[in-house]
Structure 1
């Protein structure tokens, strides 16, 4: 094999030439780690806010798509950002499906988000009880269930931390009373 002469310096000034044999593909291991750690959690977060399993999975995937190609590297709080964007994507789905015109197609390949998110009977009871809370209470409780502080929730949702704390306290109290009543009904009391 013959060596090619180097191009004149004037032609390559300011250009970054890739080294031969070195891949220019970005390293996506960190993104994959973020995806694996947050995808199921964001999906459950949306389920807790009232989405169906398919709606939750679609909205969570759409939120992750907005992170590509490199936006995810610049986020200070990717978990909160993903939940906020996924919730907005879910709400957009709700508006779009208000007037269905086409039949829902079968999902190809047997893919089902429920394979990734399996809920226990207790979790299903909590989901049903969450649906009985007001939207503000539900949001505060679900963000807290997902491990966020009231201050983080307030920052992510553009609300006052005191309002988030108050909604959480009311929601938690109502949630407990709903679940206690249901447990009493189930045991035959």
Structure 2
């Protein structure tokens, strides 16, 4: 998903927080931090929840990511939507080094996912589907969970590949495997329910 903001582009001397020296990034000017924060925060929290965090862990990671890019650093980021997703995930994984296997969902987690702008997978309905998707994502291996979370957030395979630094073919393969696993999981749950 390409950010809808465009402005003058320049290259900073050092990489912004969360990027290594060899990662490609460019600067964009003219994206208002406060407006962006209000518009994107809940969606970013939902994105981190989709990676296996609970609401509080996701909120903390998102807050840390936003704090790290407060102006004037804010003006050094070209794709703030993707950049903050990477930074928030890095913070979540750094602060939660445990293996994520299952997630106990609260009503707040489901509400965050529902209002965060992340559409549910096409195999489930909206209200109950969001809770199912969040818990089902936790059964996936890490790379498949990452690909699905970016996909749920509206990114194309090419964009996911760029942001995860993996080939597009690997994104397609992980997406396909994840989708099949989720479909099987859904079918098994329906059979068990009667």
TM-score, normalised to structure 2's length?
A: 0.67
Question: What is the Cα-based RMSD across aligned positions, in Å?
Answer: 2.5
Normalized per residue, the structure richer in helix is 1
> What are the Cα deviations for residues 20-55 of structure 1, in whole angstroms up to 9, with x where unaligned?
xxxxxxxx9821221122111111111111111110
Aligned residue in 1 for 2:52: 50
Cα distance in 2, alignment partners of residues 164 and 70 from structure 1: 34
Contact 2:46 2:113 in 1 (8 A): no
The answer (yes or no) to whether the contact 1:126–1:179 under 8 Å persists in 2 is no
Q: Paired residue for 2:186?
A: 179
Deviations along 1:63-117, whole A, 9 cap, x unmatched? 111111222223221111111000000011114x89xxxxxxxxxxxxxx75972
With the length of structure 1 as denominator, give the TM-score of the two structures: 0.69
Match of 2:75 in 1: 73
* 1:128 and 2:130 correspond: no
Alignment gaps of 5+ in structure 2:
1-29, 100-107, 115-126
User: CA 1:134–1:114 in 2, change beyond 3 Å: closer, same or farther?
Assistant: closer
Deviations 1:109-149 (A, max 9, x none): xxxx7597265432111111111111111111110110111
Say whether residues 1:61 and 2:63 are aligned partners: yes
Tell me which structure has the larger Cα radius of gyration.
1
Tell me, yes or no, if structure 1 residue 151 matches structure 2 residue 158. yes
What stretches of structure 1 of length at least 5 have no aligned partner? 1-27, 99-112
Give the ranges of 4+ consecutive aligned residues of structure 1 lying more than 4 Å apart after TM superposition. 113-116
* Deviation sequence 1:155-178 (CA, Å, 0-9, x none): 111111111111011111111221
